[in-house]
Amino acid sequence: MSDYWGVPEQEYELSILQFAKENLSQKGYSVLSEKVEVCSGAGAITMTAILETQNMRFGLYLRDGPKQRKSRGPPVISMLRLLPEMSSASDLRNFLITHQHDFPTILAPKTLAEKERIESDIKEIYSFLYTSKMKDLYDTDLSMAADVLRVRLRKN
């Protein structure tokens, strides 16, 4: 777990959601801020983001990678409530690192129906992104996955 929670070197500004602007827009979401970390070796991904709809802002947390899929199943995708002081994905990420064991409880959304709808939408969009940007790496040479993912996810 330490690979996920450490503070990585910032060689690249990475974005997963840049590849889903149209998909997100069609469902009524816009991305305000995103922070993606690709961990060494097999390329485990951690993403925090702040998104908004017409009537709300919310946080998004995603964790994925070959070890996650092999031992725990599908990626972790969670919609999170934002605290007033959270204005960027970095603020959200720092909170998650500081409260790694209890952040799901502290940042639990107030309405379960909204949480389930948003998580379902994001899972659908991420599934498309995973297939188009990552799956081939996780299926083949895991030792090079992190380096290749950093290049693929680099913002243009």
Q: What is the mean pLDDT of the chain?
A: 87
Q: Domain for residue 155, yes or no? A: no
Starting at the earlier edge strand, list the strands of the sheet with 45-52.
30-38, 45-52, 57-64, 76-80
Confidence at residue 72, expressed as pLDDT on a 0 to 100 scale: 79
Contact call for residues 63 and 34 (beta carbons, < 8 A): no
pTM over cut 0.85: yes
Main-chain phi, psi angles of 123, to 5 degrees: -60, -40
- Composition of the chain by helix, strand, coil, percent to 5: 45, 20, 35
Confidence at residue 35, expressed as pLDDT on a 0 to 100 scale: 93
Domain that holds residue 8: 2-150
Q: How confident is the model over 124-154, as pLDDT tens digits?
A: 999 999 998 888 888 876 777 888 888 888 8
How many distinct structural domains can be found in the chain?
A: 1
Q: Domain for residue 65, yes or no? A: yes
